[in-house]
Structures are given as structure tokens and as C-alpha cells.
């Protein structure tokens, strides 16, 4: 990916796609700086990397009146006082696109401005888990009405001490008693001849978000999302992302 | 948000003003080569694309120009004065903002300013008029 002008960045928070309401999407990641300088440091400061933390920020044009809109989403996320999945993409959310994902606690939400201005919003969240630099595993615009599986992605093996992180953003659900149970599968070959289910999300019957992680070691290097859908004329839109950290 | 549709509905909305004495306002969604007064049309516009990601939102800043007859200069100005008001039956601002979504053509709009109260020449004829700045936001097309 070369230099680019930001036009198609994506932001998913819990069960909402906030991309069209956002004109700023930002990730600020940091590692604590822990000094270990001693008399044998050769006259230079020595450091160890401490705890990781990321601050995620979105801002743009305020809308309200539906759970898919930014005010409903951000207010509910803030008031829940619970971590929610955040997934951010620099260039759209096609399968394989670069994605940063984490579980984050919404810590601040600002809205409204001076008379005559386009009503703005700004929200920020602080990470509560590591933040993998991963990939989109399922695109948000493809409706699913039957059970199936997604594209195989060679995300990589998971060493001991690391995890595979999986974020699921259910953006819409329709039909009679619709239910979507998504799972993360791995295999050692692209065709998934012997898929292993590594984790299963809680069944989703409405808009919402989940994030979970699978502890390593996992020697399989191919991964994909799969799903079971039930109900009468069910249809789901969902975005999913995978990454190792 | 389609620019042409927005201009059509914007000028049509402006033309619903009721002046005293009553005169029918002629709306144009193009710059006319000749005019029948009073009339209103877009004389300038700017579209700022990509106000949000993924073509989520555009901003149009349009200038609407209104012309009144200057056959009688004092009467022409008196007619124009009614249109300049911020509220009332003859107010261009009130007429446009009566439906801020222009029947679904945009998300919202604001008649932000009125300027340029002066004489305007169209062809070889002089008129008296003014300009309104309208900011319009809507989904990118």
C-alpha cells in the first residue's frame, strides 16, 4: 500500500458502521517507556517496553434516531461502561484489507457546536486489550442469508503467549427470529480440508458487536470466519476482522 | 445528493415567497440569458466533496441571485426589501428553510447570508437584486 489520501477509511464500533458519519478516524498506539539505566549501561539510557495502550478517536457529522447512527451508538457504548469491539481500516473494508482491532472502553463523547455549524460529534475510547494489526475477514456490505464460510486468509500461526483476535460487528439483522452464530476456523491449507473451530461467538439475533481471542500456540496459518444462520427469511450484514497480537 | 435536483428544488422553494403587492417569482435552476422579473436562479456554487469517509457526505455552498425590475428604481428596491427579510411571507430565507431537506433532496440546509444588494446587468438590461448564500449538506452521490 503506497502513500494515500484518506477518503475511504472505515470505523466499526459495536454494531454500527460509523464510516459515513466520520471525517476523522485516528489510532494513537503507545508502549510505556520503562527506564532500566544502570552503572553498566555504557553512558546511555536503557529502556524496556512496558504496557501497551491505544487511544481510538472518531469524529464527524452527528446523526441520531436509529441504533445504526452515531449518536445512538456512541451514547449507548459510553453509558454501558463496558468494552466494545472497535475496528478501524485505512482503506475500505474489503476482505484482506488492513484492519486494526481491539476491545476498547468508550471514555469520551462530545456532541453539538455553535449555531450555524454542521452538528459534529467526537468520541474516543481506550484499549482494554492488545491491538492486533490484522485483516478484514468479512466485508460489511455482503448480506448473508444462509450458513457458509468466508474467504481463507493466511493470517499466520499463533505463537505461545500470543492470541488470535476476532472482532464481529453485526450491522443489521432482519427476518423472523433471525440468528447468526459466527465462528473462527483455522487450517494448515488454503482449501480448509480439515477446518478446526477455534472460537465461537454468542448467537446474534440483532445489531451488536463482540470480540474474542484464541490463545496460542496454533500451528495452523490459514484462518477464516464461518457462520450458521437460522430463522425465517433471515438476512445479516456483518463486518469481521482477524489479527494476531 | 444530486446537485441538479438540489438546485431545482432550492429555486422552486425560494419562488414560493408571497410579496406585497403579489408578484409571481420565476425560478430557474440555470443562469438565464434573459429574465422575467422577479426571478431567482443559482449564480454560483461550490461542492466540497468527501466531508466524511466513503462518500458519506458532500457540502454544497450555493449563491442564489434574485432580480427585481428596475424600471422604477424606488419601486424595484421596495419589492426587493420584502424578499430580504429573515422571516415573513416574502422572506426568501423563510421560504427556503420551510423544508430544510428540500423534500428529501438533501439532509439539511442553512440560508447563511444575504449580500450584494445592488444593480445587476443581464443582457443590456439593468435590474436591482441581491444574493443569498445557502449551505446544503447531503449524502455524496
What is the CB neighbour count within 10 angstroms for residue A112?
9
Do B102 and B50 contact (CB within 8 A), yes or no? no
From chain A, pick out residues whose CB is under 8 angstroms from the CB of B137. Answer: 61, 118
Nearest Cβ partner of B51 from A10, A25, A61? A61
**Which residue, among A6, A8, A87, would best test binding to B if mutated, counting the most B CBs under 10 Å from its CB?**
A8
Asked if ipTM goes beyond 0.85, one says yes
Per DSSP, the residues of chain A read ------SS-EEEETTEE-GGGEEEEEEEEEEEEEE---TTSTTS--EEEEEEEEEEEEEEE---SSTTSHHHHHHHHHHHTSEEEEEEESS---TT-EEEEEEEEEEEEEE--STTSPPEEEEEEEESS---EEEEEE-TT--B-S-EE---B----B-TT-EEEEEEEEEEEEEEEEEEEEEEEEESSTT-TT-EEEEEPPPB-SSEEEEEEEESPB---EEEEEEEEEEEEEEEEEEEEEEE-
- CA of A69 vs chain B CAs: smallest distance (Å): 13
Instruction: Enter the DSSP assignment of B24.
Output: P
From chain A, pick out residues whose CB is under 8 angstroms from the CB of B57. Answer: 20-21, 23, 61
* pLDDT tens sequence for chain A (245 residues): 889 999 999 999 999 999 999 999 999 999 999 999 999 999 999 999 999 999 999 999 999 999 999 999 999 999 999 999 999 999 999 999 999 999 999 999 999 999 999 999 999 999 999 999 999 999 999 999 999 999 999 999 999 999 999 999 999 999 999 999 999 999 999 999 999 999 999 999 999 999 999 999 999 999 999 999 999 999 999 999 999 99
pTM for the complete prediction?
A: 0.91
Q: What is the pLDDT of residues B2-58, one digit of tens each?
A: 999 999 999 999 999 999 888 999 999 999 888 899 999 999 999 999 999 999 999
Do B63 and B47 contact (CB within 8 A), yes or no? no
From chain A, pick out residues whose CB is under 8 angstroms from the CB of B54. Answer: 7-10, 19-20, 92
Q: Tell me the three state secondary structure of residue B48.
A: strand
A22: nearest CA in chain B? B52
Nearest Cβ partner of A25 from B53, B57, B137? B53
Amino acid at each position: 500500500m503506497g502513500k494515500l489520501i484518506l477518503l475511504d477509511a472505515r470505523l466499526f464500533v459495536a454494531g454500527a458502521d460509523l464510516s459515513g458519519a466520520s471525517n476523522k478516524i485516528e489510532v494513537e498506539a503507545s508502549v510505556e517507556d520503562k527506564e532500566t539505566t544502570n552503572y553498566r549501561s555504557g553512558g546511555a539510557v536503557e529502556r524496556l517496553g512496558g504496557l501497551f495502550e491505544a487511544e481510538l478517536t472518531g469524529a464527524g457529522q452527528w446523526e441520531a434516531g436509529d441504533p445504526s447512527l452515531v449518536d445512538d451508538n456512541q451514547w449507548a457504548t459510553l453509558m454501558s461502561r463496558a468494552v466494545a469491539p472497535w475496528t478501524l481500516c485505512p482503506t475500505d473494508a474489503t476482505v484482506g484489507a488492513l484492519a486494526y482491532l481491539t476491545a476498547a472502553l468508550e471514555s469520551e463523547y462530545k456532541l453539538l457546536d455553535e449555531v450555524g455549524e454542521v452538528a459534529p460529534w467526537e468520541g474516543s475510547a481506550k484499549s482494554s486489550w492488545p491491538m492486533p494489526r490484522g485483516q478484514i475477514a468479512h466485508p460489511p456490505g455482503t448480506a448473508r442469508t444462509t450458513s457458509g464460510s468466508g474467504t481463507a486468509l493466511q493470517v499466520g500461526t499463533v505463537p505461545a503467549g500470543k492470541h488470535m483476535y476476532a472482532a464481529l460487528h453485526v450491522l443489521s439483522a432482519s427476518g423472523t427470529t433471525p440468528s447468526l452464530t459466527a465462528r473462527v476456523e483455522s487450517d494448515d491449507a488454503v482449501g480448509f480440508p480439515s477446518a478446526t473451530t477455534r472460537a465461537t461467538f454468542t448467537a446474534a439475533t440483532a445489531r451488536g458487536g463482540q470480540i474474542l481471542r484464541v490463545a496460542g500456540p496454533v500451528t495452523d496459518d490459514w484462518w477464516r470466519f464461518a457462520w450458521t444462520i437460522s430463522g425465517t427469511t433471515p438476512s445479516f450484514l456483518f463486518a469481521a476482522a482477524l489479527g494476531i497480537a | 445528493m444530486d446537485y441538479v435536483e438540489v438546485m431545482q428544488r432550492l429555486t422552486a422553494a425560494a419562488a414560493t415567497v408571497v410579496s406585497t403587492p403579489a408578484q409571481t417569482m420565476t425560478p430557474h435552476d440555470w443562469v438565464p440569458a434573459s429574465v422575467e422579473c422577479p426571478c431567482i436562479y443559482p449564480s454560483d456554487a461550490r461542492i466540497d466533496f468527501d466531508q466524511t469517509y466513503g462518500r458519506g457526505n458532500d457540502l454544497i455552498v450555493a449563491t442564489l441571485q434574485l432580480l427585481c425590475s428596475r424600471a422604477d428604481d424606488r419601486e424595484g428596491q421596495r419589492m426587493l426589501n420584502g424578499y430580504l427579510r429573515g422571516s415573513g411571507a416574502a422572506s426568501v430565507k423563510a421560504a427556503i428553510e420551510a423544508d430544510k431537506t428540500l423534500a428529501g433532496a438533501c439532509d439539511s440546509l442553512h440560508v447563511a447570508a444575504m449580500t450584494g444588494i445592488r444593480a445587476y446587468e443581464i443582457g443590456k438590461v439593468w435590474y436591482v437584486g441581491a444574493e443569498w448564500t445557502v449551505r446544503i449538506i447531503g449524502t455524496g452521490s
